[in-house]
Structure 1
Amino acid sequence: MRVGLIVDSACDLPYEFSRKHDLFILPVTAKIDNQVFIDNHDPVLTQEFYQSGLLQKGHHAETEAFSAGQIHDLLMEKVVTQFDVAICETVTRSRSLIFQNATDAYNTVMGSCQQARAAAGVPGKFSMRVIDSKQIFAGQGLLAAHTLRLIDQKLSKNVLRQEVEAFTDRMYTCVIPRDLHYIRERARRRGDKSISAVVAFLGKALNITPVIFGQGAEGQPVAKTRNFDTAVEKVMNYAAGRVDAGLLTPYVSLSCGLSWTEIEELPALNRLRDACERNGVELLLSQMGITSSIYIGPGSVCLSLAAEPHQFSDFQ
């Protein structure tokens, strides 16, 4: 049984990791001023995106999910004849239309996939499951890595689905937004009032950098620091302490909307690396993708891990 894993462009993972495990990337359309990009995790395009400074002040950036029809065509062309079972994990449905569009595409694909397989000389039936990851960015990356680990265990497709869906509720994510004003303005354009103008103003005027922590995409501020480096150090210390205390999967996912030079200079990053090394945990360190960077803003950081119930303050 050939099992394939599909993720969307909001899923942050190291490029080499994605290529090694043959992940299928469901693209997202990025629109910046009058330019249109198809974000399919091309590392060259991502690097050009960062070097161009397209998210800096004065640029209007938005993302748009592929339509159900576009996803249908991709699945028919590249998935149904390559795999017998496909798991499609999308960014949380509360933040994007990707889950709904992928579900709609699944319904049409299942009506025509067997004919396509027969025409290609591929025996057997095709099945697929669309799963709401309940995660964003590095959280999606962590779920994908864990799913690949489960696939290697040769679980039945029903058990695999159940394990993945249960795991989504055991993940914890930290987000450090670099610019609250950017997030507030983008949320305002989408009609999302979850970040008030007052909070955005305070963050900009007083140089407050919050740490957002929680399970999945529903986090709350757990720290308000006067600068970005202090916030990063708090998150790295939390992650290193949690790694030493034990994880539910041997991965920590960390994505950063920064250049690689800036990433390597992050405070306490080596402390986290050392904790991962002594505990046999793989640090999935990546440059934040185009879709993620547009959503949360340049310079932001997202970290995710899976563990028993705990609080951020337990590891400070």
Structure 2
Amino acid sequence: MKKIAIITDSACDLPDRVIKKYNIKLLPLRIIYKDREYRDRLEIQPQEVYDNIQQEVPTTSLPTAEDILGVFDLLVEEGYTEAIVITLSSSLSGTFNMVKMLANDYDKLKIRVYDSKTLGMFLGFIVKEAAIYAGNHSMEEIIQRARVIRSKLKGGYVLKTLTYLRKGGRIGKVEGTVGELLNLKPIIGINDNGAYYTITKTRGWKKAVTKLRKMISDEFKDKKYHIAVIHGGAEEEANALMDSIQNIGQIAEGYVAQISPALGVHTGPGLIGYAAYEI
């Protein structure tokens, strides 16, 4: 009997309760310090990264081949016959290519690997919808559902400092430095190719958060939608943003979600944003 599993990587930012509910399997990215290494979300949590970031900014790396093959083997033991792996954007990580290479040589499961062209709770929502579909749909139907959700997703985020994006090479050094000097706060989105881009710019953190709320209102007023307010070391502000949008349309499902350690390394403490889509 056919049984389809859904696998993703630890950059999906889905709450643990959702991952458990749908038996979603996680491939942990790695957080690497000079003298130690952790598996993202399994052996280290975001706050630990933020607490130590002044002393050392770690690097990140792909899931290991051992971890990936271990998940494949586990699925075989659990009676799965097929698996869909939905990864974070191949424009931001080599995870997609790594998984695809290993999946091509693995003959105990039929495996499809799908590049979400996104990350964080944008990826998380795609994965969750795929997992809901997995019970009674074909692999092609599940992947088509993933594509539909990807096309519907709206959102963006703002950072208190651009220092960590600049250090990680994910924003131009000049742009990042000028932004800091002028207190410019770009609201950053992810485009159809899975790369970062600037949606708009504001001056100052409070104006940026106000702009995020306006973006939600403009997009979802009088509509029914799913939303995750995401944060990195800014839980109080994330809860306040979620509280402020309760009367904007009808929230079918809402999360306040902390970004994974692997993403927090690149953004630093002080991130707030949202990912949402209309039903």
TM range (shorter): 0.7 to 0.9
1:241 Cα offset (Å): 3.5
Deviation of 1:166 (Å): 4.2
What secondary structure sits across from 1:298 in the alignment? coil
1:157 aligns with 2:139: yes
CA distance in 2, matches of 1:129, 1:60: 34
Would the aligned equivalents of 2:96 and 2:113 in 1 still touch at CA under 8 Å?
A: yes
Of 211, 223, 242, 1:269 maps to 242
Give me the whole-angstrom Cα distance separating, in 1, the residues matched to 2:53 and 2:206.
21
Distance change (3 Å), C-alpha of 1:65 and 1:280: same
In the TM superposition, residue 144 of structure 1 has moved relative to its aligned partner by: 1.4
Paired residue type of 1:84: T
Alignment of 1:132 with 2:118, yes or no, is no
Aligned residue type for 1:290: P
Structure 1 residue aligned with 2:77: 81
Report the TM-score when normalising by structure 2: 0.87
Where 2:197 maps in the other structure, the secondary structure is strand
For residue 209 of structure 1, what is the aligned residue in structure 2? Answer: 185
SS in 2 for 1:79: helix
> Does the CA contact (< 8 Å) of 2:46 and 2:232 recur in 1?
no
| Aligned partner of residue 238 in structure 1, secondary structure | helix
The 1:304/1:280 distance shift into structure 2, 3 A limit, reads closer
2:214 corresponds to which of 237, 241, 245? 237
Q: What displacement does 1:102 show?
A: 0.6
Deviations 1:257-313 (A, max 9, x none): 01534533x4x33122343xx5242112211110110132221234222359xxxxx
Q: Sequence identity, in percent?
A: 20
* Rg (Cα) greater in structure: 1
Q: Which AA in structure 1 matches 2:75?
A: V
Q: Describe the superposition over 1:224-244 as per-residue Cα deviations: whole angstroms up to 9, x where unpaired.
A: 222222212211221244222
Which whole-Å CA distance do the structure 2 matches of 1:307 and 1:269 have between them? 17
Aligned residue type for 1:31: I
Q: How much is the aligned-residue C-alpha RMSD, in angstroms?
A: 2.5
1:260 aligned to 2:235? yes
Deviations 1:152-203 (A, max 9, x none): 5x2222222223234323323312133212211111xxxx6xx222211122
d(CA) in 2 for partners of 1:263, 1:167:
23
Equivalent runs, 1:1-40 vs 2, <5 Å: 1-39=2-40
- The answer as to whether partners of 1:256 and 1:288 remain within 8 angstroms in 2 is yes
The amino acid that maps onto 1:257 is G
Aligned residue type for 1:256:
H
Aligned residues: 276
Separation in 2 of the partners of 1:48 and 1:233? 25
Q: What letter matches 1:238 in structure 2?
A: M
Could you tell me which residue of structure 1 aligns to residue 255 of structure 2?
Answer: 284
Q: Give the Å deviation of 1:34.
A: 2.6
Give unmatched runs, 5+ long, in structure 2: none
Cα distance, 1:69 vs structure 2: 4.7
Amino acid at match of 1:135: T
- Counterparts of 2:66 and 2:15, CA distance in 1: 29
Other-structure match for 1:221: 198
- Residue by residue over 1:121-179, the C-alpha shift from the partner in whole angstroms, topping out at 9 and shown as x without a partner, is xxxxx422110011111211121122233335x22222222232343233233121332
- Does the aligned pair in 1 maintain the 2:130–2:143 contact within 8 Å? no
Give the equivalent residue in structure 2 for 1:181: 163
- Is the counterpart of residue 172 in structure 1 residue 172 in structure 2? no
Q: Secondary structure at the residue paired with 1:283?
A: strand
Q: Which moved more, 1:230-239 or 1:100-109?
A: 230-239
TM-score, reference length from structure 1: 0.78
1:72 maps to: 69
> Is the 1:71–1:101 contact (alpha carbons within 8 Å) kept by the matching residues of 2?
no
Q: Which segments of 5 or more consecutive residues in structure 1 lack a partner in the other structure? A: 114-125, 309-316
The AA in structure 1 aligned to 2:51 is G
